[in-house]
Amino acid sequence: MNVEKITVSGGYGKDGSEEKVKEFSMSVGDIVSIVGPTGCGKTTLINDIELFANRNTPSGRRISINDEPVPEDFIFDPADHPIALISQHTNFLSDLPVEEFLTIHATVRGARDAESIITETLSFANELTGEAILKDIAMTELSGGQTRSLLIADAVVIGNSPIILLDEIENAGIHRTKALELLKKYKKIFVFVTHDPCIALMSDFRIVMKNGAMQHLIPTCQEEKNVVGKMKQIDDMMLNFRQVIRSGDELTESVFNDSFNVLTF
């Protein structure tokens, strides 16, 4: 079965009251954000999606695929599971070198041309992270940002999962706006749990959570799309400042002012 659409039917918030968003669907090509304060239930919502909740989790939500109940193979056969979850706290347990790990995964997935798929995965991962991932390094030696970048690239390119859930990638030293632009080229459903305004506004719509419940669904309007173009420039400027500090240079007033001068608004 090809996943075209996934639907979340609402349940209950932490206090047992019904969710205001009764239902929402995501189709292939959609980018969706889940936003809200700490502890409001964002991770719980994407876990419900990953678990294919069927009124059997504390939230009482239900997930359906292509308007049908989720097929049993999706639930019980890991090879058929169409969802990849990049969680908030990810660590590799394997100390295999990166290339070997990717080769094993590509082989298990039946990739025809493992070598080129691994090259694509690594170059994708390296566009996401500031510090290049070398193919001979052990997985356990990767930094947090490198680990997340490799997991995202692995899920997108090798795993070929149609649905990818990402929990707060912004704190991992990933170039987030670039990541979104790269991801948009792949026809999938991406769900971002995020506190980042750029990621939220680059999404097609966002779900606002409050007290464990889906409170609002806000489609990104044209005005917000205009704002995000400007915000990306500020974001790039902040990333440059970060790079200056990271590389041990001084962030002088002239470096600071020059950065402002290149803004186009």
Ligand X SMILES: Nc1ncnc2c1ncn2[C@@H]1O[C@H](COP(=O)(O)OP(=O)(O)OP(=O)(O)O)[C@@H](O)[C@H]1O
Binding site for Mg ion (CB under 5 A): 43
- The residue among 40 and 228 lying less far from ligand X, judged by its C-beta, is 40
At 257 the three-state DSSP class reads helix
Q: Kindly state the tokens that stand for 240.
A: 């440059």
Q: How far is the CB of 167 from Mg ion (least distance, A)?
A: 6
**H/E element, 69:** strand 68-69
Q: How far is the CB of 173 from ligand X (least distance, A)?
A: 18
Q: What is the DSSP string of 78-121?
A: TTT--EEEE-SS------SBHHHHHHHHHHHTT-SSHHHHHHHH
- The residue among 102 and 166 lying less far from Mg ion, judged by its C-beta, is 166
Order of strands, sheet of 83-86, starting from the edge strand that comes earlier in the sequence: 83-86, 163-167, 189-193, 31-35, 205-210, 213-219
* Site residues (vs ligand X, CB under 6 A): 12-14, 36, 38-44, 58-59, 212
Q: How far is the CB of 39 from ligand X (least distance, A)?
A: 5
- The residue among 46 and 84 lying less far from Mg ion, judged by its C-beta, is 46
- The residue among 103 and 147 lying less far from Mg ion, judged by its C-beta, is 147
35, β-bridge pairs: 208
Q: Are 105 and 154 in contact (CB under 8 A)?
A: yes
The entry of Mg ion, ligand X, none near residue 40 (CB within 5 to 8 angstroms by kind) is ligand X
Q: How far is the CB of 41 from ligand X (least distance, A)?
A: 3
The entry of ligand X, Mg ion, none near residue 259 (CB within 5 to 8 angstroms by kind) is none
The entry of ligand X, Mg ion, none near residue 5 (CB within 5 to 8 angstroms by kind) is none
Rounded Cα–Cα distance for residues 71 and 79 (Å): 13
Q: How far is the CB of 25 from Mg ion (least distance, A)?
A: 23
